[in-house]
Amino acid sequence: MIELETRLSAQVLNAVDFGVFILDTASRVVAWNDWMVSATGVPTEKAKGQVLGDLFPGADFRLFSIALAGAFEAGSSSLLTHNLHPQLFPLRTRAGRTLVHDVSVRPVGERPFTRCLVQVTDVTVAVERERVLRARQNARYSAVVDSAPDAILTIDVDGLIQTANAAAGREFGYDPAAMVGMPAVELFEDKTAWLDMWRSALCADEPARFAELTARRKTGEISHLEASAAPWQSEQRTFVTAILRDVNARHAAETALRRLHETLEERFAVALSERKILADIVENNDALIQVIDHNFRLMAINKASADEVERLFGARPQPGHNILDPIRDRPEEAAAIKALWDRALSGQRFTVLRTVNDARGEQRCYEFKFNPLSNAAGERIGAFQFVYDVTDRIENEDQLARTQEALRQSQKMEAIGQLTGGIAHDFNNLLTGIIGSMDILRRRITAGKYEDTQRFMDAATTSANRAAALTHRLLAFARRQPLDPKPTGVNQLVRGIEDLLERTLGERVRTTTDLAGDLWPTRTDANQLENALINLAINARDAMPDGGHLNIATRNESVDVALRVGEDLIQPGDYVVISVSDTGEGIAPDVIGKVFEPFYTTKPLGEGTGLGLSMIYGFVKQTRGHIRLESELGRGTIVSLYLPRHFGEIDGGEGREGRPAPKGKGETVLLVEDDPSVRLLIGEVLRDLGYACIEANNGQTASPVLTSNARLDLMITDVGLPGMNGRDLARLARAHRPDLKILFVTGYAEHVTGGEELLEPGTALVTKPFTLDALGFKIREMLAAPSTKA
């Protein structure tokens, strides 16, 4: 019977369409299914009993070994994906190609675990499908642009051409590839008109800017173009797409008609041949041209316009006819057309886009250009219009916009996937340290073994603090981190961390400071500024593997006009500037634009989250400051933080490090916190410090206490309470108790990211997670301060 079950288990393992093998605690193979035989070329008989590392010599099993240890020791399951751990095993498909795979590790049986099941899943097809879909999307985008009849140029913020389609090459007489890198302004005769349109599009929020431009082709020939330009972004870079339509024929016709209009009486006396030439230009032009008098009677109409009116409305207009007659059966259309002609007859020049349905219901889009018509004496005798069918152009622009949006969406989803994977990887590691340490502590305490518990408490605390730091970095990057801004002396702050920096950076890095003697104060969160400077110093150390020189300098700087730094603008004003410079390897020019992106790092996998500079960028922006990065390969890097000047005095304060939290004097504190664990901890520390504590789990429970006659000296409330949030509860409290002091507690508040919108006199803010001693100091500080009515 046992032999039958063993054969059946082996058949089941061999029947599944994924790799399965079982390892013992020495990493020896106990079971090896046919899928693994096919993917590795190693027979089952040869694999059994072998150490896994011997079967895959040269493979990097560091992360896999951690997963195995977690399975055997803690009973935890792990997933190593191809995104974060590409090609963990050197596997091949049956066609001989590299097999892309995910690996899951889980324990087998009961504790103590002696077997571990490893499952290998083939995701080669899914990865290839994703790559093909991305390639098809890019190909569709290129096809739309390359097949467009109008010239299309993509220009960067420096005015250089990044892409040019085939129509652009034909229009300007250049090979499209040769146009890449050329300053776009060189293509235009009227350079000021082009620069005005490009800059307007680059800085404006409206979708598109239109203008008529004069270009000079490579042959020297002048060309008239109708241009539209709109900005867009990709990978935090801004571009402008310009669509240029050849309107030379239309320009010639408009020029001819304008001449005709300006010298109408003189034209009656010119030779018949000259009039015929002008008439031919107007008659054979693809623009729809109509001229009317003040009674809406047609004075002139070209063939193209008569044909289109007949196609749309079923009646062919002739000179002398009323232009409203063909649309009398469409009252709304007739009213709209009459309103446009009334504007032109009153002397206005304007352009409008309108959609018109023909007799069969087909919809077309037209561009109407209206102008008043005057005689030689300057008297208005009517109006004329040029109409162009722009349906195809609008459709091409819409398709281009949809394609660009699809591309941006694809890039955004790819970035979200990268972000999610990075967060999951780091938090799973940190949670493993916390859960594992607490589990061991529980076992030791249950067994009465207390001699070695401190080590595991320290490990859990360290992992928890690292998790808190990662959360703060994410919030700082998103500019959603609650800050506690105060007037700060930057020089004192830098001097305070000098010893820490020297110990952190080591003996091979020489640290110096160059601090301005008359430095202005700034208003910022001193703790977050310290973290930012330490992060910059550590980055500088990593860029100097053989040692070097790091310098922190401060200075005052007044910016008179907006200063462009990459894609950012430093606005005019007074700033305190902190510069951290090193003599390291420097940053390549093609990488500088990416260093502030989240999770971008040049360090090996596992040695950096890529959140450091993005956290600093988010913190500086949240402080209404700016950041400037200058670097040269082989010479080093300078990162300068521009923090707004504070016009006021710097608050003094005594150091708290090493001192126990001060005791209370029997004051009564109302604690409002919806999380039971947090409420338990804060309540215990309040009682331990000598305060009377009244607890409530939400605003509704706290309201009767606030409206009663019970003594209250302080209210501690979470900002993000369910139902009535902390801000609403504070307003209710102040309505009944104007002198009540309020301490807000928050970890993330969507509308209170800087703290200043929330805080009023008599209120303060602490950020989760916090130490209980820090909370005790803040409570004593608030209760000791004089009362201030809101």
On the question of pLDDT at 357 being above 60, the answer is: yes
Average pLDDT over residues 484-505: 84
- Length of the chain, please? 790
Q: Which pLDDT belongs to residue 695?
A: 93
Q: What's the pLDDT at 671?
A: 93
**E strands along 247-362, which residues?**
288-292, 298-301, 350-357
**What average pLDDT does range 94-107 have in this prediction?**
85
Residue 206: the pLDDT is 56
Q: Given this model, what pLDDT does residue 466 score?
A: 64
Residue 632, Cβ neighbours under 10 Å: how many? 11
Return the pLDDT at 567: 65
Task: Say which amino acid occupies 59.
Answer: A
* CA gap 727, 743 in Å, rounded: 11
Give 714's pLDDT tier (boundaries 50, 70, 90).
very high
Q: Is the pLDDT of residue 43 over 70?
A: yes
Q: 775 pLDDT exceeds 90?
A: no
Q: Which domains occur in the chain, in start order?
A: 2-122 (3.30.450.20), 129-246 (3.30.450.20), 250-389 (3.30.450.20), 395-477 (1.10.287), 486-644 (3.30.565.10), 668-784 (3.40.50.2300)
Give the H/E segment covering residue 505.
helix 498-505
Structure confidence at residue 696 (pLDDT)? 92
pLDDT given for residue 670 in this prediction: 94
* pLDDT tens readout for residues 328-356: 888 888 888 889 999 989 989 998 888 87
150-160 residue pLDDT tens: 889 888 888 89
pLDDT of residue 655: 47
Q: Give the pLDDT confidence score for residue 654 in this predicted structure.
A: 46
Q: What is the mean pLDDT of residues 385-399?
A: 82
Give the C-alpha distances (Å, rounded to integers) separating 405 from 132, 141, 234, 242, 401.
19, 10, 10, 17, 6
Banded pLDDT at 609 (limits 50, 70, 90): very low
Q: Which residues contact 237 (CB under 8 A, 6 or more apart)?
A: 156, 157, 567, 593
Q: What is the mean pLDDT of the chain?
A: 79
Which residue from 575, 580, 557 is spatially nearest to 494, judged by alpha carbons?
A: 580
* Average pLDDT rounded to a whole number, residues 533-562: 89
Whether pLDDT at 382 is above 80:
yes
Q: What is the pLDDT of residues 253-264, one digit of tens each?
A: 777 777 776 665
pTM score above 0.75: no
* HSE, side-chain direction, 13 A CA sphere, residue 453: 13
Residue 760 confidence class, pLDDT cut points 50, 70, 90: confident
Q: How confident is the model at residue 605 (pLDDT cuts 50, 70, 90)?
A: very low
- Give dist(CA 422, CA 259) in Å, integer: 68
| Distances 485 to 624, 645, 753 between C-alpha atoms, Å | 11, 13, 11
The amino acid that residue 268 corresponds to is F
**pLDDT (0 to 100) of residue 702:** 92
* Per-residue model confidence as pLDDT tens digits over 197-211: 888 888 865 555 578
